[in-house]
Structure 1
Amino acid sequence: MNLRLNDSLLDTIDLRTTPLHLGLGCRSRPVEGFAFEPAALEAYADAVADDGREGRLVVLIDEQGRGSHWERHPGGEEVIVCVSGAITVVREIDGEVQEVTLQAGEATVNPAGVWHAVDTAGEARILTITPGPGTEHRAR
């Protein structure tokens, strides 16, 4: 896996292709070579293990339609911001499905350990601030 935490922040960072890791000591580092696939997620978790539960992954995602999977973050809360378009965050809490719809500029917080998915009404851009290590996925 060719994942690298880059200590140089002087260049432009395209959050759609290169997430930003926020770590201990208010440190920010681009995560080059990141992908939403098992090997890259494992490499990321290993690379930022020293940050423990305090580390966060900042990602900008362009989405359209129904989310393909459920996920949860046992390690902490996740912030989801609707940058453009409209999104619906679907959560499973105590066996019940709950939905919250966000318009551009609005955000919500997913509690630690809660299964959730994101659906969009057309094209949407989403910013997430996620406790990366320990994240779990399942088919929807």
Structure 2
Amino acid sequence: MPKAQPISVQEMLDSVRFLPDRTPHTTDKEAAPAFATLSDYRDGGLFVGHFAGNSEWERHSQGDEIVYVLDGTTRLFLWVEGEEQGHDLKAGELMVVPQNIWHRFEAPDGVKIMAVTPQPTDHRVDRPE
């Protein structure tokens, strides 16, 4: 059985490098320094990230994702019934993204997030249709 221990979210955030110009075409390799894994959790993990710009579309087939804004702001778009639904989130707010819902982030001024993310994650550059 793994040993439970405290995790410093701030120390993990201090270990990531701000990604100033994220785009849907940013590769995993380019984005990797802006993200860190806090812990494994169920069939995925608990992650932090620090970036500005726009992400690609993603979805999680094994469960809901919890997105919590630690600092800054983001607009989280969900693709629901053929339409984008934008939700503005600021520090201290969270959103539960339902299983299998395509979603993406726009954070022109930068955001620090923590997410509980099930795996696997599907990615796509173009809007789902």
TM-score by length of 1: 0.64
Q: Which residue pairs with 2:93 in the alignment?
A: 106
Q: Which residue pairs with 1:131 in the alignment?
A: 118
Is structure 2 residue 54 aligned with structure 1 residue 66? yes
Is structure 2 residue 66 aligned with structure 1 residue 95? no
Alpha-carbon deviation of 1:139? 0.9
CA pair 74-18 structure 1, distance change in 2 beyond 3 A: closer
Partners of 1:92 and 1:114 within 8 A in 2: yes
Alpha-carbon deviation of 1:19? 3.5
Distance across 2 between alignment mates of 1:8 and 1:91: 34
Q: From the two aligned structures, give the one with the greater strand fraction.
A: 2
Distance across 1 between alignment mates of 2:7 and 2:105: 31
Distance across 1 between alignment mates of 2:122 and 2:40: 18
Distance across 2 between alignment mates of 1:77 and 1:131: 7
CA pair 95-63 structure 1, distance change in 2 beyond 3 A: same
Q: Which residue pairs with 2:37 in the alignment?
A: 18
Of 101-110 and 13-22, deviating more is 13-22
TM-score by length of 2: 0.69
Q: Which residue pairs with 1:57 in the alignment?
A: 45
Distance across 1 between alignment mates of 2:4 and 2:95: 31
Distance across 1 between alignment mates of 2:66 and 2:38: 15
1:75 to 62, 77, 96: 62
Alpha-carbon deviation of 1:17? 3.0
Alpha-carbon RMSD across the aligned residues, in angstroms, is 2.2
Distance across 1 between alignment mates of 2:67 and 2:4: 26
